[in-house]
């Protein structure tokens, strides 16, 4: 994932989450909002409750790989914040891939 496709700044995270456009399942919360770019940007958040830094970074790497593979399913011109919930701690790469893919393809919007 190139740097231009990453939501980095805290104020961007806050802006996207504040809009409260979200998709939810038992493993992920995905917040999204429009952006002014010609491409989608992604931010990943894995909380400290899930484990130590090594484990959290492993989950972030897995999510980045999943995003690269599923990028065609995302709507362009949007920013996404993907938050991994505590139940996701016990899933491997294939489980995370399946759950995120089902969430994004079904697009059940919650407000």
- The pLDDT tens digits of the residues spanning 53-68 come to 999 999 999 999 998 8
d(CA 41, CA 76): 9
Question: Which among 98, 85, 13, 95 is positioned nearest to 50, based on CA atoms?
Answer: 85
Task: For residue 21, report the phi and psi dihedrals to the nearest 5 degrees.
Answer: -90, 115
Cβ burial of 108 (10 Å; 0-12, 13-18, 19+) is: exposed
**Percent above pLDDT 70 for the chain:** 88
Overall average pLDDT of the 38-45 stretch? 88
Give residue 107's pLDDT. 65
Q: Given pLDDT bands bounded at 50, 70 and 90, which one contains residue 73? A: low
d(CA 49, CA 40): 28
Give residue 36's pLDDT. 84
pLDDT digits (tens, 9 = 90+) for 6-22: 888 888 889 999 988 89
CATH numbers and ranges of domains, the chain: 3-99 (3.30.230.10)
Predicted structure pTM score: 0.86
- Tell me what the pLDDT averaged over the chain comes to: 86
Give residue 102's pLDDT. 87
């Amino acid at each position: 994932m190139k740097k231009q496709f990453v939501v980095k700044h805290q104020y961007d995270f806050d802006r996207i989450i504040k809009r409260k456009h979200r998709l939810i399942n038992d493993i992920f919360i995905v917040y999204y909002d429009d952006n002014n770019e010609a491409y989608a940007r992604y931010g990943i958040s894995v909380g400290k409750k899930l484990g130590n830094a090594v484990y959290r970074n492993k989950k972030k790497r897995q999510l980045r790989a999943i995003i690269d593979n599923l990028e065609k399913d995302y709507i362009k011109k949007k920013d996404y914040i993907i938050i991994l919930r505590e139940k996701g701690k016990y899933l491997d790469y294939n489980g995370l891939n399946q759950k995120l893919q089902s969430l994004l393809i079904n697009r059940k919007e919650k407000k």
